[in-house]
Amino acid sequence: MQPEAAFFSIHFGRDSYDNFHSLILCEKTMVPINLSGKVALIFGVGDNESFAWFIAKTLQAAGARIALAVHPRVHGIVESILTRDLDAESRKLPHGASGELKPELVLPCDARYDTMADVDEETKNDRRYKKFEFYAIKEVVEAVGKHFGGIDILIHSIAFSREISKRAIETSRSAYMEAIGISAYSLTSMVRAAEPFMEGRTGGASVVGLTYLGGSRVVPYYGGGMSTAKAALQIDCGQLAHNVGAKNIRVNLISAGPYASRAARSIRPDFDKSITYAAERSPLPRGIEPQEVADACLFLCSPLASAISGHTLFVDCGYNIMGV
């Protein structure tokens, strides 16, 4: 990581901060976002299309040291995307920063489990889990906190419902509870585990989660308990912000517009229709880019957002303001 690559101009247009050399020339008029030495623990990289992938690259481009916590079933896939030539382009850091995504740790984590004591026998004996010593939230957060001597940034970018394609009225109790557990309660569990490692950090610490408009408005295809999980996540964000604010830990959410990630494509096969629908009705008449979510996340993790907590920031081309 080049230290100079850690500076971003936020008051110039997007094009102007693509070239690092031009930044040096206008350094005096630049607002820096410098996360050098900060430690970011990111949950939710499933592949190189995940929001979390773009967030990891962007935080690293700003100087942060990266630890990924990925679902045990995709651990091998993520390891391979991080190394194979085929995916080299997708590892490149954004904004003209030199180098590529290089997390210092890639740990397995199944957000169904708060501690290893909660893991059921079937999972313990599953060959995809058996090879790992631990994969519950508490043990993973503690391993990262001890390895780096603290955590400055925690990203929650995970969601799951096994009945995601069912309408709300058809959703079973067990799938509904599971969706809330994995997609919402896990944030509480992570913040609880991370609190001792995030308190007392220079400049404060920041937690950012991902939500969707379907948590506060009716999006008919957003069933399977997922709309309820996002509604829970949103009020939990406020509760947690209040719970840990005295320790200078901020908790915020980004409400992203529709984007065709793996999770989104599982909601409905013709997910592109949702993107087009929103794009045609948004004040900015287009779909979002995952990099735009990552950039907003960088802002929320930076000192520029030092008084923002308990907030949901929409990164959706303005779609949420529309009445028709």
Ligand X SMILES: NC(=O)c1ccc[n+]([C@@H]2O[C@H](COP(=O)([O-])OP(=O)(O)OC[C@H]3O[C@@H](n4cnc5c(N)ncnc54)[C@H](O)[C@@H]3O)[C@@H](O)[C@H]2O)c1
Of 9 and 312, nearer to ligand X (C-beta) is 312
Least Cα distance to 191 among 145, 125, 254 occurs for: 145
The phi and psi torsions of 41 (rounded to 5 degrees) equal -105, 120
CA neighbours within 13 Å on the CB side: how many for 252? Answer: 25
Contact call for residue 182 and ligand X (CB under 6 A): yes
Closest distance to ligand X from the beta carbon of 69 (Å):
8
Which residue in the set 130, 167, 262, 281 belongs to the binding site for ligand X (CB under 6 A)? 262
Distances (CA, A) of 250 to 94, 262, 265, 285: 25, 29, 31, 32
Of 131 and 262, nearer to ligand X (C-beta) is 262
Of 138 and 201, nearer to ligand X (C-beta) is 138
Closest distance to ligand X from the beta carbon of 50 (Å):
3
Which residue in the set 50, 58, 228, 282 belongs to the binding site for ligand X (CB under 6 A)? 50
In one-letter notation, the amino acid at residue 126 is D
Closest distance to ligand X from the beta carbon of 71 (Å):
4
List 17, 113, 176, 222, catalytic entry = 222
Least Cα distance to 107 among 85, 130, 74 occurs for: 74
CA 53 from centre of chain: 8
Contact call for residue 41 and ligand X (CB under 6 A): no
Question: Is residue 319 annotated as part of the catalytic site, yes or no?
Answer: no
Put the strands of the sheet holding 65-70 in their side by side order.
Answer: 105-108, 65-70, 39-43, 153-156, 205-211, 249-256, 312-315
Round to whole Å and give the CA distance between 93 and 324.
38
Of 23 and 267, nearer to ligand X (C-beta) is 267
Round to whole Å and give the CA distance between 62 and 38.
10
Name the residue with the smallest CB distance to ligand X: 46
Contact call for residue 45 and ligand X (CB under 6 A): yes
Contact call for residue 38 and ligand X (CB under 6 A): no
Which residue in the set 74, 105, 231, 304 belongs to the binding site for ligand X (CB under 6 A)? 74
Distances (CA, A) of 48 to 57, 81, 106, 262: 10, 7, 14, 10
Of 23 and 296, nearer to ligand X (C-beta) is 296
Contact call for residue 259 and ligand X (CB under 6 A): yes
Of 145 and 215, nearer to ligand X (C-beta) is 215
Question: Is residue 277 annotated as part of the catalytic site, yes or no?
Answer: no
Residues in 216-255 at the binding interface with ligand X, rule: CB under 6 A = none
The phi and psi torsions of 165 (rounded to 5 degrees) equal -85, 0
Contact call for residue 263 and ligand X (CB under 6 A): yes
- Kindly list the catalytic residues: 212, 222
Which residue ranges make up the site for ligand X (CB under 6 A)? 44-46, 50-52, 71, 74, 109-112, 157-160, 182, 210-212, 256, 258-259, 261-264
